[in-house]
Amino acid sequence: MSRVDAELRTLAGWGRTAPSTARVMVPSNVTEVREALRDVDERGVIARGLGRAYGDPAQNAGGLVLDITGLNRIHSIDADAATVDTDAGVSLDTLMRRLLPFGLWLPVLPGTRQVTVGGAISADIHGKAHHVEGSFCEHVQSMDLVTADGEVHTLTPDGPEAELFWATAGGMGLTGVVVRATLQLNRVETAYFLVDTDQIDNLDDLMAKQSVDDEKYLESVSWFDSTTTGPHLGRGTLTRANHATLDDLPGKLKANPLKFDAPQLVTIPNIVPPGMLNKYTARIFNELWYRKSPTRQGAVQNITMFLHPLDVMGEWNRLYGPHGFLQYQYVIPFGREDAVKQSVRMIAESGHVSALNVLKRFGAGNRAPLSFPAPGWTLAVDMPAKRGLGDLCTALDELVLAAGGRLYLAKESRTTAEAVQRMYPRIDEWRKVRAAVDPHGIFVSDMARRLRLT
């Protein structure tokens, strides 16, 4: 590949708040990735998958971006060993469709299937099963990483280059380009979940209920109302599930228990005006969402209904209008439930509104210096970009820091380098590993510059 193979494109994160223009190449094999790295100028290079990071970690203003979706082969599926060997540009959606007929399941899935394997590694993604399964890179047996010198390193969690493996896990693409990985899988009997739902009247009771018997469930998540204050602050629904067995299914589903049919029903047009989500529409949505999920035990739900309801809408981020939105996600340690409650109160009283509100419990973290999950509560809200939102988020940053928490780099889009330095105490350890494999700093992104990560 050469400079003439690149297309000048304006790129943005899923939040659509800070677009920038770069040269974009789409390599189709490892050789083309290595050739592209020889074509890097002073603005550097970063890899990009399906663009589901909310901020700017997969953008590189004035530089080169490698679109890894051209690396799209699934090399082999070993049903006996429950593993898959796949290119990094393959999406989790594609993997699920290929794996389920074998009764195989990806242990970690985020709130969307539209994420590449490479992106999942670079962000060390998590899902509703973190309290049981941990994060994505804990299920990566090996990965192939092309570093700044064009060499291909095959990395394993405990091999001779384990430090580089864990620096790449959650490293936001700044150690090199992940081109291939072997993943350890779980086995399932069906493509369905057996779901228990509890409707709960306030945040204190919601967290108390979620703290009891959570480990009995593979998947666990709360939705909370971000608009109601007073005694019903943070009222919500707790939804927990395990994989349904064949015996759990009604007769009509037993005929094809591993069927996975998840069509995209609609694509949101790029004509939604600003202000569609406001305090009035948000209150209506929150009220309807709370009432739609009454307490019910043992409901059979398919994958999309339980894990990925937003995937039925293409380009759903356009619903926030042309100015975009940000997702604010933190983790705060157990024992600081007061800070979680204070953050919900601050959001509810701020005048900034959110409809997609998630609260989960994390289990133990892993060895990756920049991996986000740690034991505690993780909260995420999506808020339209408008005047004053930065002030709210800065106040939330101070609350999170005081409680010993941190923000998720795959969702972050506006904090400061000083805040990230305090949130990630092992960041200098990560910088040392990165500098050893990229001494000239060719891997760089808009986020890396903004947060002075490199």
3-state secondary structure of 288: helix
pLDDT tens figures, 265-314? 789 888 888 777 777 787 887 787 778 878 899 999 999 999 998 898 89
452 in the Ramachandran plot: left (φ > 0), alpha (ψ -120 to 50) or beta? left
Query: Looking at residue 4, what is its pLDDT?
Result: 46
Rounded Cα distance between 394 and 343, Å, is 12
This prediction has a pTM of: 0.96
CB-based contacts of 293, cutoff 8 Å, min separation 6: 197, 199, 223, 237, 239
Which one of 3.40.190.10, 3.30.465.10, 3.40.50.410, 3.30.9.10 gives the CATH number of domain 70-188?
3.30.465.10
**CATH code of the domain made up of 192-414:** 3.30.70.2520
Average pLDDT over residues 445-453: 98
Residue extents of the structural domains in the chain? 70-188, 192-414
200-231: pLDDT as tens digits: 999 999 999 999 999 999 999 999 999 999 99
* Pairing of the two strands 20-25 and 64-67: parallel
Whether 105 contacts 187, CB under 8 Å: yes
Same fold, 70-188 and 192-414: no
Q: What is the pLDDT of residues 3-40, one digit of tens each?
A: 448 999 999 999 999 999 999 999 999 999 999 999 89
